[in-house]
Amino acid sequence: MSKILYIEDEEDNRIITSHRLIMAGHQVLLAEDTVEGIAKARADAPDLILMDLKIKDDETAGLEATRQLKADPKLRRIPVIAVTAFTEAEKRTESLRAGCDDHVVRPIDFPQLLKRIETLVTASRSALNQTSPFS
């Protein structure tokens, strides 16, 4: 089970996605905007963040929030998956450049999303557990 923070301004998307994640055994934290999301990331240390890219009609809100998360030494290890309705390849590239670790397009393929979550959380935990004598 992973603790997942879902930053999403659309209530229907929050309800549907969080229900599916809970049914898969995950703990889900919800935030309606990026300010609340960043605060919850700091307070609750989730294992992974699902980040809506377009929040409150701002197509760059999710990207900017991801940049802030990745700039914070205490939060940068948390994997971020961009969630968007935009299908253009340039949006995927833009999200990866902003620091997202993966990118999914709505409608969400839940079996695929669950695999991606497991892969990213496992890699993140493994990296966290590795200690270097030079760190």
Domain limits of the chain?
3-126
Strands 102-105 and 48-52: unpaired
What is residue 59's predicted lDDT score, i.e. its pLDDT? 87
DSSP state of 58: B
In degrees and rounded to multiples of 5, residue 4 shows phi and psi of -115, 130
Structure tokens at 92: 């995927």
pTM of the model: 0.93
Instruction: Determine the Cα–Cα distance for residues 43 and 21; give it in Å rounded to an integer.
Output: 21
Tens of pLDDT, residues 30-44: 999 999 999 999 999
Confidence class for position 130, pLDDT limits 50, 70, 90: confident
Check pLDDT > 50 for residue 135. Answer: no
Check pLDDT > 90 for residue 132. Answer: no
Note whether 6 and 14 are within 8 A (CB).
yes
Class of the 3-126 domain?
A: alpha beta
Comparing C-alpha atoms, which of 30, 55, 49 is closest to residue 121?
49
Note whether 84 and 95 are within 8 A (CB).
yes
| Average pLDDT, integer, range 49-61 | 93
Q: Is 55 helix (H, G, I), strand (E, B) or coil?
A: strand
Tens of pLDDT, residues 69-105: 999 999 999 999 999 988 888 889 999 999 999 999 9
For residue 39, count other CB atoms closer than 10 A to its CB: 11
